[in-house]
């Protein structure tokens, strides 16, 4: 369970990073070469997490730079309607574009994402565009790893972390590793390690922690020992359909199991998991329950076509937990 600040924060969760467009294959179970139609949704991991958190009822804000074009306006309008505070959407004035993610659904097990992220507006967020009071008024700040990939967004993320630490605001780091945005694994490892050492909660897949550690086949024990030594209090390590683990700096280990579902595609799992896990944690549920919430939300989203639009409500999550068997390990 996370220490909840004594006064209610203006926003229980503020996420920082990209808000983009997902174009999800309408004709699925075929390669993208043969896909002719795509449906448009808001995408980008931290935007998806903000939308998921708002749908669960958290007061949620978002900090990010969006393009001054039709896509940017669509993103803003969708997120506002979803209940995300849009006061800290910064509109790009230099002609940068919205990132696009085309998804390929070859089969429920074989999905991939083709990203168009050259010169994207979100990576041009500048440190001076981060408002200290917005961070000060948050209960939890979530930083997306992709925001660290390039300057000036990298410095903007670090500035937000510095404000959070100055005001005692808890920080979550979602590793959210997207290789095409980075120049080298060594660079990613350096910035991931520096930022993880500043954060209270770290969430990632086993593979993403290997990127952070710049090694192959690392162990969860090695990962948590490094992160707890640098100050983290809660570390979540996801293992796909095999489930997930949460570790606390007081020595407890919790196991989360994935729920059986009819999988349509695999992407969106991580973002819905983070939204629901953090919702449960922020609202004072125990860590075992938070893992159930995260896993249940992910199992709902992987059965649906989108990531953002499919984010579940608390009722949907609780019904699924009550009715659906877990996938045994
Ligand atoms: N096929 C599946 N069926 C049911 N639940 C799943 C499936 N795949 C993943 N999940 C759930 O989603 C959680 C997160 O999945 P995963 O470890 O793949 O994260 P991720 O790689 O961040 O996701 P994404 O594919 O969105 O990037 C898992 O811990 C599990 O509970
Ligand atoms: O994070 C992205 O930029 C793409 C996402 O929006 C996409 O829906 C996805 O990969 C979710 O995991």
- CATH code (residue 142): 3.40.1190.20
CA separation (Å) from 149 to 24, 36, 64, 182, 208? Answer: 24, 32, 14, 5, 14
Q: What is the mean pLDDT of residues 194-206?
A: 98
Is 74 contained in some domain? yes
Is 328 contained in some domain? no
Is 207 contained in some domain? yes
Contacts of 128 (CB under 8 A, 6+ apart): none
Which among 228, 232, 230, 190 is positioned nearest to 212, based on CA atoms? 190
Looking at the 3D structure of the chain, how many domains does it have?
A: 1
Please answer whether residues 256 and 245 qualify as being in contact, where contact means their C-beta atoms are separated by less than 8 angstroms: yes
Task: Look at ligand 2, atom 2, and give the residue with the nearest C-alpha.
Answer: 44
307 Cα nearest atom in ligand 1: 26
Is 106 contained in some domain? no
Is 37 contained in some domain? no
Q: What are the percentages of helix, strand and coil residues in the chain, rounded to 5?
A: 40, 25, 35
DSSP 97: B
Is 114 contained in some domain? no
Which among 51, 243, 63 is positioned nearest to 135, based on CA atoms? 63
Greatest pairwise CA separation for the chain in angstroms: 55
Is 1 contained in some domain? no
Q: What is the mean pLDDT of residues 107-122?
A: 94
Distance 298 CA to ligand 1 centre (A): 6
Which among 77, 71, 79 is positioned nearest to 48, based on CA atoms? 79
Tokens 């390929």: give the residue.
104
Q: Is the pLDDT of residue 5 over 60?
A: no
Mutating to test ligand 2, I would choose from 43, 79, 180, 269 the residue with most ligand atoms within 8 A of its C-beta, which is 43
- C-alpha dihedral sign at 29, 32, 38, 41: positive
Which among 213, 164, 218, 215 is positioned nearest to 192, based on CA atoms? 213
Q: Is the pLDDT of residue 2 over 70?
A: no
Average pLDDT for the chain:
96
> Is 299 near ligand 1, meaning CB less than 6 Å away?
yes
Domain residues for the domain of 257 are 13-18+45-95+123-323
Which ligand lies nearest to the CA atom of residue 300 in the structure?
1
Is 301 contained in some domain? yes
Task: Look at ligand 1, atom 30, and give the residue with the nearest C-alpha.
Answer: 258
Q: What is the pLDDT of residue 8?
A: 84
Q: What is the mean pLDDT of residues 70-94?
A: 97
């Amino acid at each position: 369970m996370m220490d909840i600040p004594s006064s209610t924060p203006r926003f229980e969760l503020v996420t920082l990073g990209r808000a983009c467009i997902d174009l999800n294959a309408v004709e699925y179970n075929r390669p993208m070469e043969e896909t002719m139609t795509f449906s448009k949704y808001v995408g980008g991991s931290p935007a998806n997490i903000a939308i998921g958190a708002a749908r669960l009822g958290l007061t949620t804000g978002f900090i990010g730079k969006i393009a001054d074009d039709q896509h940017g306006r669509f993103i803003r309008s969708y997120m506002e309607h979803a209940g995300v505070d849009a006061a800290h959407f910064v509109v790009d004035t230099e002609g940068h574009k919205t990132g696009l993610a085309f998804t390929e659904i070859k089969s429920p097990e074989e999905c991939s994402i083709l990203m168009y992220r050259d010169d994207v507006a979100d990576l041009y967020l500048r440190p001076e565009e981060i408002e200290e009071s917005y961070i000060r008024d948050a209960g939890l700040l979530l930083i997306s790893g992709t925001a660290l990939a390039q300057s000036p967004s990298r410095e903007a993320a670090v500035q937000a972390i510095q404000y959070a630490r100055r005001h005692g605001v808890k920080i979550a780091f979602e590793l959210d590793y997207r290789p095409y945005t980075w120049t080298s694994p060594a660079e990613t490892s350096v910035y991931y390690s520096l930022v993880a050492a500043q954060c209270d909660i770290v969430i990632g897949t086993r593979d993403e922690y290997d990127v952070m550690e710049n090694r192959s086949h690392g162990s969860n024990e090695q990962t948590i020992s490094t992160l707890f030594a640098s100050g983290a209090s809660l570390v979540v390590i996801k293992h796909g359909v095999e489930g997930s683990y949460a570790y606390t700096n007081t020595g407890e280990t919790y196991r989360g199991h994935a729920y059986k579902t009819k999988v349509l595609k695999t992407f969106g799992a991580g973002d819905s998991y983070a939204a629901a896990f953090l919702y449960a944690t922020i609202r004072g549920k125990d860590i075992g329950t938070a893992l159930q919430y995260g896993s249940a939300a992910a199992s709902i989203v992987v059965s649906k076509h989108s990531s953002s639009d499919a984010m579940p409500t608390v009722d949907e999550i609780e019904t699924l937990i009550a009715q659906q068997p877990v996938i045994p390990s």
